[in-house]
Amino acid sequence: MQVQSYFSQLDNFEGELATLNLGPTHPATHGIFQNVLKMDGEKIVSAEPTIGYIHRAFEKLAERRPFNQVTPITDRLNYCSSPINNMGWHMTVEKLAKIELPKRAQYMRIIIMELSRIADHLVCNSVIGVDTGALTGFTYVFQERERIYDLFEEVCGTRLTTNIGRIGGMERDFSPRFHRLLKDFLKTFPPKFEEFGSLLERNRIFMDRCIGAGPITADKALSYGFTGPNLRAAGVDYDVRVMEPYSSYNDFDFTIPVGENGDTYDRFMVRQEEIRQSLKLINDAYNNLPEGAYHADVPDYYLPDKPDVYTKMEALIYHFKVVMGEVPIPKGEVYHAVEGGNGELGFYLTSDGGRTPYRLHFRRPCFIFYQAYPEMIKGAMLSDAILTMSSMNVIAGELDA
Amino acid sequence: MSSLTNELVHARIMQHAAEMVLGSETAYDGILIVETARESLIGLLTLLKEDKDLNYHFLTTLNAIHYPDQTGRELGLTYHLHNWMDNRRIRVRVWIPVADPHIPSLTGLWPSANWMERQEYDFFGVIFTGHPDLRRILNVDDMDVFPMRKEFKLEDGTRTDKDDRFFGREGNYQQRLD
């Protein structure tokens, strides 16, 4: 009887709007987002996003942490590609302290950063597959992502929140096992990835679901501050790696893929092609990896070898000074941007010469482009809205900081 | 790639809007900073955005900073603009008193400013006049402080081992501990 009365109530909704809470913990949103939707049947009339569910006050925390202790905070921004965040932060401090890295260290960074871009895009693209009903590709490429995490583990000891590298270079050189794993990865990953692509790229069902879902024009994307793959899918070829090359990206030749319609399919295809370009970058950087030091010679900022700390007075002093943050750093403000998994990830650091940032502001690409979401899904079906969100690759950690 | 230099940009701004510019300097990282007053902020940013030669069409980000010692100009707003055609960046800075933290909103120029301004309101209490929906964004709605202001300590103030006077920090850091 109760069921019946419920349905008779629903009938009364004809011509009226229903309110639907999508999230905060909804399995389809892949993260903690809340959207209060006004629905006309299955059509979205308006959406009101609420964010901040995993806000952890990173900007405030950074004001009481020495520069090297800020790195673990950056891990937790876009946790699908932590190394890019880590290295973006290191490069910001290096810009402030005017540290020039040896080529080997820069190329090592490129290899790690491009590996994490692949990991980031793999998650995003395979989740688009999941949201269109194709789970196989997701389970398939997650094994490949695990192999990338094995590589990270070999370099820094952890897999997800990497804290990889140090201010002034890498923490250690690539180990023999890393070389073995990377060579294996570069050989066996591309055919598996192409297999994943062949499951979806020209799949009729997938294309029908994605083409035209959540489109945005280039003009609109620019005015909403889009960067990264989402902007490139709309046809604007802005990439920080090319515009303001850092870490010797200008030594390499790679293509920036662009889309046309800015819809889910274009976002998917741009990321697919970026993975191929990242592979090319890794191959080029690895095959041309120069000999030399894996860190700059800056004892003021870079920790000495641990055995030296136990046996040499000077190394002990430097170790103490670096750990306690006792080294003077120049005053001034620097902005450094890197091409994160989602776009321009910027660090705006204001230093007053103290051992911690006076103010550190993160330009988080997710936070800026997610505000276009209500407009992108207006008038769309609920299932398209889910798809649009996963194809925008909104990462809660980066969104909320 | 970048034919536009800081000098050229500065000359162009002075030519069109000298009365709006309070000062300018080159930042540590080589980016031009132009200081303006809040009354002329929208005028200056419109010029930077619309002028064909300047063409700072992209709002990268905006952020606030708090210097409790600078009486009458405690809060600083920094607007980061970027011209992608010539690949030039510029920062526009406005100082406002913390007792009267009002500044015009940029949402009419760039829709992307909407959440950026909500974020700075949330953390610094800067009131962006003309903003369509100025609410807290990351913190809880019923929070009654603006936590990024320097008077809010991050750690227990009785801790002495993190007093930066012992670690060569310049300036009056004690202010932040009290």
ipTM of the complex: 0.89
Cβ–Cβ below 8 Å for B111 and A224: yes
Residue ranges of the domains in chain A? 66-400
- A282-309 tens-digit pLDDT: 999 999 999 999 999 998 899 999 999 9
According to the model, what pLDDT value does residue B17 have?
Answer: 84
pLDDT in tens, A25-61: 877 777 788 889 999 888 999 999 999 899 999 999 8
pLDDT of residue B129: 94
| Residue that has been written with the tokens 């609420």 in this structure | A50
The per-residue pLDDT for range B55-114, each reduced to its tens digit, is 899 999 999 999 988 889 999 999 999 999 989 999 999 999 999 999 999 999 999 999
**What integer pLDDT is reported at residue B108 of this predicted model?**
92
Which sign, positive or negative, has the C-alpha torsion A312, A313, A316, A321? negative
B131-177 residue pLDDT tens = 999 999 999 989 999 999 888 877 665 666 666 665 555 544 444 44
Best A242, A358, A364, A373 member to test B by mutation, with max B CBs in 10 Å, is A358
Q: Which CATH number fits domain B6-147: 1.10.167.10, 2.60.40.1930, 3.30.360.10, 3.30.460.80?
A: 3.30.460.80
For A350-389, the pLDDT digits (tens) are: 998 888 888 999 999 999 999 999 999 998 998 899 899 9
The H or E element that residue A390 is part of is helix A382-392
Q: What is the domain partition of chain B in residue ranges?
A: 6-147, 149-178
Please give the Cα distance from A238 to A245 (Å, whole number): 12
Report pTM: 0.91
The pLDDT-based confidence of A256 (bands split at 50, 70, 90) is: very high
Q: Do A371 and B167 touch (CB under 8 A)?
A: no
Tell me how far CA of residue B103 lies from CA of A224, A342, B57, B91, B119, in angstroms: 21, 30, 21, 16, 14
Closest by CA position to A196, among listed A259, A113, A128: A128
A400 neighbourhood in chain B, CB within 8 Å: 138
B100 three-class SS: coil
A358 and B CB contact within 8 Å: yes
Alpha helices, DSSP H, located in A160-249: 176-200, 204-210, 218-223, 228-233, 240-243
Tell me how far apart the terminal alpha carbons of chain B are, to the nearest angstrom. Answer: 49
CB of B61 within 8 Å of a chain A CB? The answer is yes
Could you tell me whether strands A331-340 and A359-363 are parallel, antiparallel, or unpaired per DSSP bridges?
A: unpaired
Q: Is A21 exposed, middle or buried (0-12, 13-18, 19+ CB in 10 A)?
A: exposed
Q: How far apart are CA A379 and CA A131, in angstroms?
A: 19
Residue with tokens 């942490």: A65
What is the band of A187 on the pLDDT scale with cuts at 50, 70, 90? very high
Chain B residues near residue A336 by CB distance under 8 angstroms = 29
pLDDT at B174: 46
CATH superfamily entry for domain A66-400: Cytochrome-c3 Hydrogenase, chain B (1.10.645.10)
